[in-house]
Chain A
Amino acid sequence: MSEHALALERRAVHETSNAVLGMLLFVISEAMFFMGFLAVYFTAYANAKVWPPSGISIPPMGLPTAAVVVLLGSVATMTMANRAGRLHDQRRVTVWTGATLILAAGFAGLLGLSYRGLGFHASTDIYGSLFWVLAVVAIAHAIGGIVFFALLLAQARAGELQLRHDPLQAASIYWNFVAVIGVSLYVIFYLANAGSK
């Protein structure tokens, strides 16, 4: 390998953030995880005469809709935090990360409330199993996001995000993924079944 190629290689390695690369790998594996469950859901849906199965009542849409709106709002604030980080504006990074943390907590809370008193359980049938597994995993991701944003906020307040921007990028990738999953589950479990019963 020539000196030039070696220098390019070493610099390219330095240009690659471990946090961002690790988050990308994590998100890819998580996407496969969710797709596996959604594939099972759609296979069951395609083979069922009635969907959702009889005895399952469609959950009310008010709280899940509010949760999705809050989630989309948190994506906007996360994007602003990421942008402020690129511009090295520490004050705005702190403000937008704090706003994202509050909205993420609101999303998790609304999601949790929307799952109360549904009238079916994980052991009811395949719909119940898939609904609850995906619901619990979605809430777990929201809680993971809250922990992540709290850590970022602590780093932002300490001025550490002035030194490096990649934790914000990684958080942005993670939260955008959570938003895609949240909106997908809302469409599949609520909107698509809205006119069923």
Chain B
Amino acid sequence: MKMTGRTAFGAALFFVVAGLAYALTGTFEGGFPLLMVAAVGVALLGSHIVAAVRRAEREIAAGEHDEEPIEPHVGPTIWPLGYALSAVGLVLGFLVDRGIYVAGGLLFLAATAGWFADVRHQWRHAQEEPPDPGPPLGPDTTPMADEGVT
């Protein structure tokens, strides 16, 4: 995770340098802002990951035991594909024939209802069978040979 965060910041720096180079040498005015948006986006991702690592470091330093996340297993569902197809229907309806709107709209409603039903089913299932927390993932209380070595 630490390495992923650093890689993200490295990529952000790369995009900044590339953006500056493009601004000085390129001819397309949109190149610089596009590269800057990419830099900000990747830096945002890096900061999110680094924040998670720092939270983990603080918790380990405080001796808190890790808990299994409550997030239930999300099973595969076909309905996001339904959403994507309904978006195609709505765009084609806009561009080609307004009649296709109806098909896109119906598919949108069906995908919404189906996805809601899937999520509710998963939550109900997760509440009926809570996940086995397993052994604690925090550092062992027994002294280790390589303790303190990072």
Report if A and B associate in a common complex.
yes
Which residues of A line the B interface, CB within 8 A?
Answer: 2-5, 7-21, 24-25, 27-28, 31-32, 35-36, 38-40, 42-43, 46, 122, 132, 136, 140, 147, 150-151, 154-155, 158, 160, 163-164, 166
Find chain B residues with CB under 8 A from A147 CB.
112
Interface string of B121-133 (1 = CB under 8 A from A): 0010000000000
4 nearest A-B residue pairs (beta carbon): A39-B30, A28-B41, A11-B56, A15-B52
Is the contact region of chain A dominated by helix, strand, or loop, or is it mixed? helix
Which of A14, A32, A36 is close to B69, meaning CB atoms less than 8 Å apart? A14
State the Cβ distance, A87 to closest chain B Cβ, in Å. Answer: 17
Is B90 an interface residue, CB under 8 A from the partner? yes
Is B33 an interface residue, CB under 8 A from the partner? yes
Which residues of B line the A interface, CB within 8 A?
Answer: 1-2, 28-31, 33-34, 37-38, 41-42, 44-45, 48-49, 52-53, 55-57, 59-60, 66, 68-71, 87, 90-91, 94-95, 112, 116, 119-120, 123, 137-140, 144, 146-150
Q: How far is the CA of A145 from the CA of B105 in the complex (A)?
A: 16
Find chain A residues with CB under 8 A from B144 CB.
3-4
Find chain A residues with CB under 8 A from B60 CB.
4, 7-8, 11
**Is the beta-carbon distance between B41 and A32 smaller than 8 angstroms?**
yes
Q: How far is the CA of A31 from the CA of B43 in the complex (A)?
A: 14
Q: How far is the CA of A42 from the CA of B28 in the complex (A)?
A: 10
Q: How far is the CA of A12 from the CA of B59 in the complex (A)?
A: 10
Task: Knowing A46-B29, A136-B91, A151-B116 are in contact, say whether A31-B41 is a contact too (CB < 8 A).
Answer: yes
Q: How far is the CA of A40 from the CA of B30 in the complex (A)?
A: 7
Which of B2, B41, B66, B90 is close to A14, meaning CB atoms less than 8 Å apart? B66
Q: How far is the CA of A136 from the CA of B137 in the complex (A)?
A: 47
Q: How far is the CA of A7 from the CA of B56 in the complex (A)?
A: 9
Find chain A residues with CB under 8 A from B69 CB.
14, 164
**Is the beta-carbon distance between A16 and B48 smaller than 8 angstroms?**
yes
Q: How far is the CA of A28 from the CA of B39 in the complex (A)?
A: 10
**Is the beta-carbon distance between A7 and B48 smaller than 8 angstroms?**
no
